[in-house]
């Protein structure tokens, strides 16, 4: 079906919704929520007043959330949701048959954009970003995927090899952890997805005529406008973006059918409890570190909270400041300090259950103290071992450690951050030197472009040792890495409220860049003390 040419026709009028939007005083973006006649709802975010460069340089972003995921896979052919997302990547207008026909994925990449799809338990999320001046064309192509039926069978068959390859890469990249988890799921439960054992069968032995027919039925059943939420952010005006949405999505069909109901599975957890009382050891050649992964299966929180308050649990466990779990492990030399991002805690939530997962990288010394933790990291090829009874008995009587505590964040301020007013006097284009002596110089320039109560400071430390010899450069790299490790735990509370810092080695020394709210400026004193050490 072609795109509507009359943007303001009565048929494509959108209902303006008026939800309460909470935003800070410094947020200059404008928001609007609309609902099309077919039920599709869209959130529009305009950065028009923040845009200073041309639309040819600015990026626009679009995301669409559809409330269907892998839980709705039909038992006859598993992972049909992934094949549909691959069709989205390779989608092209059916009436175009030429070598010049450009798929949606290639169109986005040809215009310096990115695109990806995430299939979750109960949702599928499509995302792309692109240069702002190409936003309408991208939305046009994007909307056609949801408007038109599944691609003609001959195009599907011609792209079959590419679809197989993309599916295999996508599925392999996510199955390493999930393989063991789904292996323990109860038979007949939605979470009981296909395993790597039958992945080859899916790729090579599937009846693709049957797959095509089921994809067609699946799309007609679940890809309905009233189950879609769209979000667009750009430097265009709200009125312009609303016209774009009406033109590109008003013809998405609405079958008025409700989503699948999984409430009957809420009474019991989907996993075999005995499988969660084992230790799984995995040898993965792609990993250079041993990692410990602890997984807790919990009931769903969706019926108990109106907001994401359950995120406090992984936030507390994954805290990286003083008195934290990772601080304790590093003091014991059980976990490496080289990469702070390798330690994390997250929670996966759906309407049936929740999974709390803790990832801890281990040193060789830490591997000898597994009884002080729990289960090793899980992937595909594994051996399962019963957890020793003496470990379990020890966990039953363990007392809280004094090394674990949470301190109030001293960088939090009770004052509200207010936008600064633009002064009447002329602002210099370049920084002005405020101070200079034989050891240092201070330059300053106010930033009234965004009028935010933030400060950016760059410290350029010039070393008397030239870094031309390789040895000096390596020593400087080592020094800066050690400095980052010294600062990580001390400044973690400041990072939580928006403070940022970065250390960059250059030819004559290194540069320390720090930025954050004005109220976090005392952090610079701590940085100075750390540097003097």
Give the mean model confidence (pLDDT) for residues 320-336.
Answer: 87
Can you tell me the mean pLDDT for 493-504? 84
The CATH code of the domain at 15-250 is 3.30.830.10
Banded model confidence at residue 365, pLDDT cuts 50, 70, 90? confident
- Nearest CA to 77 out of 248, 235, 210, 265 is that of 210
Question: Does the structure show a pLDDT above 80 at 99?
Answer: no
Measured distance CA(317)–CA(335) in Å, rounded: 15
Q: Which of 196-210, 409-423, 502-516 shows the lowest per-residue confidence on average (mean pLDDT)?
A: 409-423
Mean pLDDT of 209-236: 93
SS3 for 1-50 is CCCCCCCCCHHHCCEEECCCCCCCCCCCCEEEEEECCCCCEEEEEECHHH
Instruction: Quote helix, strand, coil % in the chain, to nearest 5.
Output: 35, 20, 40
* Residue 26 or 414, more confident: 26
- Stretch 490-508: mean pLDDT: 84
pLDDT-above-90 percentage for the chain: 20
Higher-confidence residue: 147 or 282? Answer: 147
Confidence of residue 136 (pLDDT cuts 50, 70, 90): very high
Q: How confident is the model at residue 219 (pLDDT cuts 50, 70, 90)?
A: very high
Annotated domain spans of the chain: 15-250, 274-397, 432-530
Residue 396 has a pLDDT of 87
Task: Kindly write down the DSSP assignment for every residue of 446-509, as one continuous string.
Answer: ---SS--SEEEEEEEEE-SS-S-SHHHHHHHHHHHHHHHHHHHHHHHHHHHTT-EEEEEEETTE
Q: What is the mean pLDDT of the chain?
A: 79
User: What's the pLDDT score for residue 531?
Assistant: 52
Is the pLDDT confidence value at 446 over 80?
A: no
Question: Residue 341 — pLDDT band, cuts 50, 70, 90?
Answer: low
Residue 364: CB atoms within 10 A of its CB come to: 9
> Pick the residue with more confidence: 166 or 38?
38
- 63-91 pLDDT tens trace: 999 999 988 988 777 678 877 887 776 65
State how far the alpha carbon of 127 is from the alpha carbons of 3, 138, 436, in Å. 21, 11, 50
Instruction: For residue 116, give both structure tokens.
Output: 């990806």
Ramachandran bin of 502, using left for φ above 0, alpha for ψ from -120 to 50, beta for the remaining angles: beta
Query: Average pLDDT, stretch 465-493?
Result: 83
pLDDT at residue 368, as a whole number: 78
More confident residue, 94 or 425: 425
pLDDT category of residue 417 using cuts at 50, 70 and 90:
very low
Over residues 521-533, the mean pLDDT reads 54
Residue 38 has pLDDT above 90, yes or no: yes
Lowest mean pLDDT among 243-257, 440-454, 477-491: 440-454
pLDDT at site 529 = 54
Q: How far apart are CA 127 and CA 230, in angstroms?
A: 10
Distance separating alpha carbons of residues 123 and 262, to the nearest angstrom: 13
Q: How confident is the model at residue 178 (pLDDT cuts 50, 70, 90)?
A: low
Q: Which CATH class is domain 432-530?
A: alpha beta
> What is the SS3 string spanning 394-413?
HHHHCCCCCCCCCCCCCCCC
**What confidence score (pLDDT) does residue 9 get?**
43
Residues 179-201, mean pLDDT to the nearest whole number = 66
Listed range (11-20, 90-99, 232-241, 386-395) with the worst mean pLDDT: 90-99
Please measure the distance between the N-terminal and C-terminal CA atoms of the chain and give it in whole angstroms. 69
CATH superfamily of 274-397: Metalloenzyme, LuxS/M16 peptidase-like (3.30.830.10)
Q: Retrieve residue 159's tokens.
A: 């792209």
């Amino acid at each position: 079906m072609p795109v509507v040419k009359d943007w303001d026709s009565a048929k494509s009028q959108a209902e303006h919704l008026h939800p309460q939007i909470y935003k800070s005083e410094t947020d200059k973006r404008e928001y609007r929520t609309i609902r099309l006649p077919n039920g599709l709802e869209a959130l529009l975010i305009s950065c028009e007043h923040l845009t200073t460069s041309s639309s040819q340089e600015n990026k626009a972003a679009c995301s669409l959330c559809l409330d269907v995921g892998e839980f709705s896979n039909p038992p006859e052919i598993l992972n049909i949701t992934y094949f549909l997302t691959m069709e989205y990547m390779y989608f092209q207008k059916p009436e175009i048959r030429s070598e010049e026909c450009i798929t949606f994925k290639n169109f986005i990449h040809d215009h310096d954009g990115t695109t990806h799809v995430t299939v979750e338990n109960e949702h599928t999320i499509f995302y792309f970003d692109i240069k702002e001046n190409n936003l309408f064309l991208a939305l046009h192509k994007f909307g056609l995927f949801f408007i038109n039926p599944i691609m003609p069978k001959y195009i599907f068959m011609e792209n079959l090899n590419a679809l197989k390859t993309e599916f295999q890469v996508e599925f392999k990249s996510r199955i390493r952890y999930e393989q063991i988890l789904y292996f323990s799921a109860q038979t007949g439960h939605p979470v009981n997805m296909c395993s790597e054992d039958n992945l080859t069968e899916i790729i090579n032995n599937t009846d693709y005529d049957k797959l095509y027919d089921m994809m067609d039925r699946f799309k007609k059943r679940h890809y309905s406008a009233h189950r879609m939420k769209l979000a667009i952010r750009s430097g265009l005006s709200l009125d312009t973006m609303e016209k774009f949405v009406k033109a590109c999505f008003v013809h998405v069909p609405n079958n008025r059918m409700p989503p699948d109901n999984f409430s009957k599975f809420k009474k019991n957890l989907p996993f075999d409890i005995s499988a969660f009382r084992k230790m799984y050891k995995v040898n993965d050649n792609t990993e250079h570190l041993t990692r410990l992964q602890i997984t807790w299966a919990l009931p769903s929180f969706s019926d108990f909270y109106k907001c994401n308050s359950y995120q406090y649990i992984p936030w507390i466990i994954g805290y990286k400041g003083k008195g934290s779990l990772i601080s304790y492990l590093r003091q014991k030399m059980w976990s490496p300090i080289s990469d702070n991002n390798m330690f994390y805690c997250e929670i996966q939530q759906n309407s049936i259950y929740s999974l709390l997962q803790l990832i801890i990288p281990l040193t060789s010394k830490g591997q000898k103290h597994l009884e002080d933790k729990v289960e090793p990291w899980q992937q595909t090829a594994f051996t399962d071992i019963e957890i020793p009874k003496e470990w379990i008995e020890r966990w039953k009587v363990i007392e809280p450690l004094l090394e674990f505590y949470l301190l109030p964040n001293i960088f939090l301020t009770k004052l509200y951050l207010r936008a600064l007013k633009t002064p009447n006097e002329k602002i210099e284009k370049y920084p002005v030197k405020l101070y200079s002596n034989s050891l240092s110089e201070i330059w300053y320039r106010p930033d009234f472009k965004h009028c935010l109560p933030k400060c950016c400071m760059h410290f350029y430390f010039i070393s008397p040792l030239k870094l031309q010899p390789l040895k000096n450069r390596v020593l400087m790299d080592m020094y800066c890495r050690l400095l980052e490790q010294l600062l990580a735990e001390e400044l973690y509370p400041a990072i939580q409220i928006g403070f940022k810092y970065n250390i960059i080695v250059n030819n004559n020394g290194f540069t320390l860049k720090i930025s954050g709210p004005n109220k976090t400026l005392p952090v610079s004193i701590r940085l100075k003390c750390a540097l003097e050490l």
